[in-house]
Amino acid sequence: MAVRRMDNVGIVVEDLDAAIEFFIDLGLELEGRAPIEGDWAGRVTGLRDMRVEIAMLRTPDGHSRLELSRFLAPAVVADHRGAPVNALGYLRVMFAVDDIDETVARLGNRGAKLVGEMVQYADAYRLCYIRGPEGILIGLAQELRPMT
């Protein structure tokens, strides 16, 4: 049996409202927001008595989702927000955008900062990494189309 799809990527945040607003400004759509708790949740995560508030956001094409979680219990045990690009574990989420300059400028109004430089890869892409809310590492890619 093969994998049918990647359902979502999850990111734990402290300020769920700010993270939701940031990703909506990026262009994702809020599907819903809900509290998650109970025996089933603790059994699946291995965190007994967990209580978390989640928000599910969808990309405009409907194929990908981002799940943002704010843990109420138990307390968060690690903080990887300032980790560099070569850290083990979660690296980044990459989004394809229409206009990378406009996107970086717009998200800069929400506090996003370039990690390195905006670069061009061959004649195919313009790319950059930014730090979003709470230091979340986000990749942006604009596909370059030859002028005809």
Please enumerate in sequence order all residues whose Cβ is within 8 A of that of 29, keeping only pairs 6 or more positions apart, or say none. 57, 58, 59, 60
Report yes or no on 17 lying in a domain.
yes
Structural domain for 46, as ranges = 9-73
pLDDT tens for each residue of 88-105 = 877 789 999 999 999 999
We report the CATH number of the domain holding residue 35 as 3.10.180.10
Same domain membership, residue 97 and residue 68: no
pLDDT tens for each residue of 38-91 = 999 988 889 989 999 999 999 999 999 999 999 999 999 888 888 888 888 777
Contact 25, 107 (CB under 8 A): yes
Confidence of residue 127 (pLDDT cuts 50, 70, 90): very high
pTM of the model as a whole? 0.86
Task: Tell me what pLDDT residue 16 has.
Answer: 97
Same domain membership, residue 15 and residue 65: yes
Which residue, 137, 133, 109, is CA-closest to 16? 133
Report yes or no on 88 lying in a domain.
no
Confidence of residue 1 (pLDDT cuts 50, 70, 90): low
pLDDT for residue 147 is more than 60: no
Please enumerate in sequence order all residues whose Cβ is within 8 A of that of 27, keeping only pairs 6 or more positions apart, or say none. 59, 60, 95, 97
Same domain membership, residue 57 and residue 20: yes
Domain boundary residue, one of 73, 107, 127: 73
Same domain membership, residue 65 and residue 102: no
